[in-house]
């Protein structure tokens, strides 16, 4: 039975955090100054948020390293209790945090609600980690007890993106804390309140001791300082492949372990035996949810030639019927893109694809930051809108004749995150999936799925594999392995 939590009615009081960062349990003015948190749907300033500088990162890392030792030494039920309470608080404050998610991130309310659901689930899953098996007994050829023990790494850096800031931060923050580490959290400056301030406040109210969660928003200089700090031994980064390469390069220079969850250009294969209407329903969600600003978004629709025209026509009709607008003002299917830079990039990719020969069957236009869901048919394989991650509501559809051709098309990418296949023969679908290297496969489903206990990660340009989801992945990600032996008497050697 859950325990009732006595808290205030408002979690995110702007008078407390406005223009500040959070170090060693206190809201302080950061060396990077402050910037406005902008509502992308309206351009309105929601609040001022503070920015850190490299000196703030060093101070935060020092405090985190100091606090971590005592935290790791606590009995495991004490750490579990903090995580369980945090999970309850995510649920209790879901409406308030969800409102910030809608306004600051541009998420439609159902997506904001799903993000809070997964965030709470991730926290509850993490609450079980302190009591999980953290080692094993090894066979030894010597007369001794031989053990492998998983111990906290110490300080973990978490760098999270703007698009789904709750899920993409909590899946590292919660298990890292649960396993006895301290965390430096660097959210994207555009979504600091949803992806940063809410974390600080939740864990404050859950009873997390000061210093264990430090909030250091900032730009590339702050990210580099975080990765380079000698007290940060693991960095969990989620973001673009380009930025992930930069993080990986700095991490390699300082021998810091980096878990990189990067971009995607997921394939969605529609075999000849598929139901087109059901496939289009899946495709609509997979390509247009959250304006396509999801790493798992369906980018390439690979459709059997016998179904191609029907599929394109129905997907285009669905796109034309969708309402795009302010998700805080009424019911819409798509909200705004995050900013003008992203909008202009999406529009340039669509225009370039059409100039190269793609057929624009729906969309391809925008009003302010509201980009219409777009369908491109017969997109050339070398068009960037087909070959690379768009991070916008753009579906490129191409035909195939045989399963061999479908497998070749799907595998013809540097990315390897998620794959969807629609077919009446699930075993044929599984056999097809085995020929396409990706970290995630969904048969008779689209590519955008997330569950707190499931492994998540990709291959190739999509990252360094599954480092999130499930006890084993989390333990491996946020602990070091020590070999320990014990003898009754000192060993004797011939020298």
CATH number for position 477: 3.40.605.10
Examine the domain organization and report whether 79 and 169 are in the same domain: yes
Examine the domain organization and report whether 253 and 308 are in the same domain: no
Residue 238 within a domain: yes
340 burial (CB, 10 Å; 0-12 / 13-18 / 19+) is: exposed
What gap in Å lies between CA 378 and CA 397, rounded to an integer?
6
Examine the domain organization and report whether 136 and 178 are in the same domain: yes
Sign of CA dihedral 447, 448, 449, 455: positive
Residue 113: closest CA among 285, 287, 327: 327
Cα dihedral 432/435/436/438 (nearest 10)? 100
**Which tokens sit at 222?**
């702050």
Q: Distances from the Cα of 393 to the Cαs of 297, 316, 365, 416, 489, in angstroms?
A: 9, 12, 11, 20, 68
Examine the domain organization and report whether 212 and 336 are in the same domain: no
The confidence score (pLDDT) of residue 2 equals: 31
Sign of CA dihedral 98, 104, 105, 107: positive
**96 is annotated as an active-site residue:** no
Residue 457 within a domain: no
Examine the domain organization and report whether 279 and 415 are in the same domain: yes
Phi, psi of 164 (to 5 degrees): -130, 70
Q: Output DSSP code: residue 193.
A: I
Active-site option among 39, 104, 122, 261: 261
The confidence score (pLDDT) of residue 131 equals: 96
Examine the domain organization and report whether 340 and 439 are in the same domain: yes
Q: What is the mean pLDDT of each run of 10 residues along the chain (495 residues)?
A: 45 95 98 97 97 98 98 98 98 97 98 97 97 96 96 98 97 98 98 98 98 97 98 97 96 96 97 98 98 97 98 98 98 98 98 98 98 98 98 98 98 97 98 97 97 93 88 93 96 90
The confidence score (pLDDT) of residue 471 equals: 87
**Which tokens sit at 436?**
């396409």
| CB 12 within 8 Å of CB 197 | yes
The confidence score (pLDDT) of residue 466 equals: 80
Examine the domain organization and report whether 230 and 135 are in the same domain: yes
Examine the domain organization and report whether 146 and 288 are in the same domain: no
What gap in Å lies between CA 462 and CA 470, rounded to an integer?
19
Q: Distances from the Cα of 384 to the Cαs of 199, 265, 352, 360, in angstroms?
A: 36, 11, 8, 15
The confidence score (pLDDT) of residue 495 equals: 86
Examine the domain organization and report whether 217 and 287 are in the same domain: no
Scored b (16 or more CB within 10 A) or e, 302-331 reads: bbbeebbeebbbbbbebbeebebbbbbeee
> What is the number of residues in the chain?
495
Residue 127 within a domain: yes
The confidence score (pLDDT) of residue 6 equals: 38
386 burial (CB, 10 Å; 0-12 / 13-18 / 19+) is: buried
What gap in Å lies between CA 495 and CA 340, rounded to an integer?
72
Examine the domain organization and report whether 390 and 257 are in the same domain: no
Domain coverage including residue 232 = 14-262+463-483
Examine the domain organization and report whether 214 and 327 are in the same domain: no
Q: How many structural domains comprise the chain?
A: 2
Examine the domain organization and report whether 472 and 364 are in the same domain: no
**Which tokens sit at 454?**
């499931």
What gap in Å lies between CA 115 and CA 94, rounded to an integer?
10
At 298 the three-state DSSP class reads strand
Q: Output DSSP code: residue 372.
A: P
């Amino acid at each position: 039975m859950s325990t009732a939590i006595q808290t205030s009615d408002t979690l995110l009081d702007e008078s407390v955090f406005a223009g500040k960062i959070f170090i060693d349990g206190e809201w302080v003015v950061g060396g990077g100054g402050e910037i406005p948190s902008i509502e992308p749907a309206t351009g309105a300033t929601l609040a001022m948020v503070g920015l850190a500088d490299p000196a703030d990162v060093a101070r935060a890392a020092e405090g985190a390293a100091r606090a971590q030792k005592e935290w790791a030494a606590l009995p495991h039920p004490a750490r579990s209790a903090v995580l369980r309470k945090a999970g309850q608080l995510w649920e209790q404050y879901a409406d308030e945090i969800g409102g910030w998610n809608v306004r600051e991130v541009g998420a439609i309310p159902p997506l904001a609600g799903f993000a809070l659901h997964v965030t709470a689930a991730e926290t509850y899953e993490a609450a079980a980690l302190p009591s999980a098996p953290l080692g094993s007994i090894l066979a030894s050829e010597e007369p001794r007890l031989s053990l492998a023990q998983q111990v906290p790494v110490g300080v973990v850096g978490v760098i999270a993106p703007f698009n789904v800031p709750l899920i993409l931060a909590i899946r590292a923050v919660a298990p890292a804390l649960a396993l006895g580490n301290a965390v430096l959290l660097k959210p994207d400056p555009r979504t600091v309140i949803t992806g940063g301030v809410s974390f600080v406040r939740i864990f404050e109210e859950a009873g997390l001791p000061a210093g264990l969660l430090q909030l250091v928003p900032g730009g590339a200089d702050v990210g580099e300082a975080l990765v380079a700090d000698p007290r940060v031994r693991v960095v969990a980064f989620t973001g673009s492949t380009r930025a992930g390469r930069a993080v990986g390069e700095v991490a390699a220079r300082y021998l810091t372990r980096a878990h990189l969850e990067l971009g995607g250009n997921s394939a969605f294969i529609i075999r000849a035996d598929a139901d087109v209407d059901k496939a289009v329903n899946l495709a609509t969600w997979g390509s247009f949810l959250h304006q396509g600003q999801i790493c798992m978004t369906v980018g390439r629709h690979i459709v059997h030639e016998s179904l191609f025209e029907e599929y394109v026509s129905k997907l285009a009709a669905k796109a034309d019927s969708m309402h795009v607008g302010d998700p805080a003002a009424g019911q819409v299917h798509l909200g705004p893109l995050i900013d003008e830079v992203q909008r202009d990039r999406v529009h340039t990719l669509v225009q370039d694809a059409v100039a190269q020969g793609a057929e624009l069957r729906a969309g391809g236009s925008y009003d302010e930051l509201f980009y219409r869901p777009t369908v491109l048919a017969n997109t050339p394989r070398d068009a960037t809108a087909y070959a690379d991650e768009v991070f916008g509501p753009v579906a490129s559809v191409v035909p195939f004749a045989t399963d061999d051709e479908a497998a070749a098309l799907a595998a013809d990418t540097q990315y390897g995150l998620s794959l969807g296949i629609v077919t009446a023969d699930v075993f044929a679908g599984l056999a097809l999936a085995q020929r396409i290297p990706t970290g995630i496969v969904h048969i008779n489903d689209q590519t955008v799925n997330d569950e707190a206990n499931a492994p998540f990660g990709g291959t190739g340009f999509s990252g360094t594999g599954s480092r999130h989801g499930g006890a084993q992945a989390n333990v491996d990600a946020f602990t070091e392995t020590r070999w320990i032996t014990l003898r009754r008497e000192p060993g004797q050697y011939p020298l």
